[in-house]
Amino acid sequence: MRFTVDATSGKARAATLTLAHGDVPTPIFMPVGTYGTVKAMTPRELEEIGARIILGNTFHLWQRPGLEVVGAVGGLHRLAGWSLPMLTDSGGFQVFSLAHISKLNEDGVVFRSPVDGSARNLTPEVSMAIQATLGSDIAMAFDHCPPGDSARAVVIDAMERTTRWAARCLAAPRPDTQNRFGIVQGGAHLDLRLRHLEQICALPFDGFALGGFSVGEPIPVMYQLLDELAHRLPAERPRYLMGVGTPRDLLTAIGAGVDMFDCVMPTRNARNGQLFTWRGKIVISNARHKLDPAPPDPDCPCETCKTFSLAYLRHLHACSEILFARAATLHNLHFYLELSRRARQAILDGRYEAFAAEAIARLS
């Protein structure tokens, strides 16, 4: 891995991340492909709209199709038909999201499989072995992500466990071309975040992530913490904010010094009838769109906006047509990737603060 900072504008920075499967210009949004597919999109479509790195989910790919299948075809890149860089999460978020079917202990987490009900023991070593088989360019360390409203004692316990698990992840074997990122926890407590940042960043990871955000804490608290934390992560390594978020979240986090993002919001909201535009969010089921011949966003050059009217998209959504999910997903991902591109250009031009303020005002 090579990481070169190309320009800065305040705390915001534009960089180039070079991985085994290609270069990634940052800031960058990573579309989420939970099961090895970004829902409703083909690899070619993703590449055409500017995706340069996508994300796969270690826990769910472990369940289906399973490592036997992934290994037999030569890794997740070949299985998914994706030739550019890929990041895999560690399964740590499932400690939070699947707490109702799991049991935590020092060794790891025992899950009751949502597929067949079998017991699955996910440990730091198992997570690293799964990600080695998947063959991602970036593998995330296995962490303990507590809910955003957890008591301080619970947050400290999760934070300290994450540190111990991080050392075990680093000790596990890995492919020569795979990089590993450590994850900073600490909940909504600035002092704990700073303490954990110091602990994790002392370990020889290739990049660092801020985890445990957008899990129930107030948004203003998240923004305050990001402003205090992101620029303190090592300047010579990529900085990744996990699972966040809205366009405003991304603009705020870029201004704090974050390089990489992922979130299911553009794809999930698309399937639920919401379109992100430079003029704010559109809820396609609203009656005012029934006779509207305009595209979702006249300023957007994506195939959806060049082809379809709001009236037609509302019709497709009302009929539960598959084409709506495809068209809306393509548009939303294009918007998020264009947001990343414009942010990068504003940093290169030395005017990120003005760009972000103007974009946030338009999106509100």
Residues belonging to the active site: 89, 262
Quote the DSSP letter at residue 278.
B
Cis peptide, bond prior to residue 65, ω within 30 of zero: yes
Torsion of CA 6, 260, 199, 184, to 10 degrees: 160
* Packed helices 247-256 and 352-363: angle between N→C axes, nearest 10 degrees: 160
Q: Which residues contact 291 (CB under 8 A, 6 or more apart)?
A: 311
**Distance in angstroms (rounded) separating the CA atoms of residues 13 and 6:** 8
Neighbour count for residue 254 (Cβ, 10 Å) = 31
Q: How far apart are CA 78 and CA 74, in angstroms?
A: 6
Give the pair of three-digit tokens for residue 53: 């790195």
